[in-house]
Amino acid sequence: GLFSAFLLADRIVVETRKLGEPEGVRWVASLGDDIELSSSHREKVGTSVTLTLKPEFARYAEQREPMEKAIHEFADFLPVPIHLGGDKTRVNVIHVPWFEPTPDPESLELELESYFSETPLDVIPIRLEKPVPVAGALYVSPRRTPGFSSDATVAVTIRRMVISRDIRGLLPSWAGFLRGVLELSGCVPTASREDLV
């Protein structure tokens, strides 16, 4: 959640204003226990999150390339646009076919090919509701041979945030030729704030 930002930041400021409301809300938290909540004179509808980076991480904000790489690595599919340095061009992809209830097979294959940099031999769309909701796609990799490769590699997202690009043990050990992306919307990622201070 939001408190995982304390891995990199000393302070977080969230300013938000809802459509139809005359003023917004300002929420400020630091590494201590105090959280400040006040009204905000934000003119635009929407939300902004500002991190004050710890000194040892400040260099990451000075270079665009590492920031873009981190966004593509972990936040490419978040359903909100991410802009860097006030640019109007969105950095993140937001939408990919494997999030659709009935994805177009050709679009799905092309997006997997782009994401994993290899052409799938076959694509398996995944859509389950029980025992837990799972959506996404697996594919047969041309680089994997059963019995001669490592475990299957799956990227996992929760609420479209990439939790890991390399979850192992999720698929059977004999399925080393499979790769893919799974959205586990029924799971909840957690980070303890106490562990960060």
Mean local confidence (pLDDT), 139-150: 69
**pLDDT at residue 169 greater than cutoff 80:** no
Spatial distance between the Cα atoms of 181 and 162, rounded to a whole number of angstroms: 9
User: For 101-134, how does the pLDDT look when each residue is reduced to its tens digit (9 = 90+)?
Assistant: 888 999 999 999 988 889 999 999 999 888 888 9
Mean local confidence (pLDDT), 143-157: 68
pLDDT, position 86: 76
Other beta carbons within 10 Å of 62: 8
Nearest to 132 by CA among 167, 172, 180, 184: 184
The residue ranking higher by pLDDT, 172 or 19, is: 19
**pLDDT at residue 190 greater than cutoff 70:** no
Cis amide prior to 131 (ω within 30 degrees): yes
pTM: 0.69
Mean local confidence (pLDDT), 63-83: 87
User: For 33-55, how does the pLDDT look when each residue is reduced to its tens digit (9 = 90+)?
Assistant: 889 999 998 888 988 888 888 99
Using an 8 Å Cβ cutoff, are 186 and 133 in contact?
A: yes
pLDDT, position 152: 65
Exposed/middle/buried for 63, CB within 10 Å: 0-12, 13-18, 19+? exposed
- pLDDT band of 95, cuts 50, 70, 90: confident
Nearest to 136 by CA among 146, 149, 120, 123: 123
**Helices marked H in 22-63:** 59-62
Residues with Cβ within 8 Å of 94's Cβ and at least 6 positions away in sequence, in order, are 76, 77, 78, 79, 80, 81
pLDDT, position 149: 52
Spatial distance between the Cα atoms of 126 and 101, rounded to a whole number of angstroms: 10
pLDDT, position 195: 45
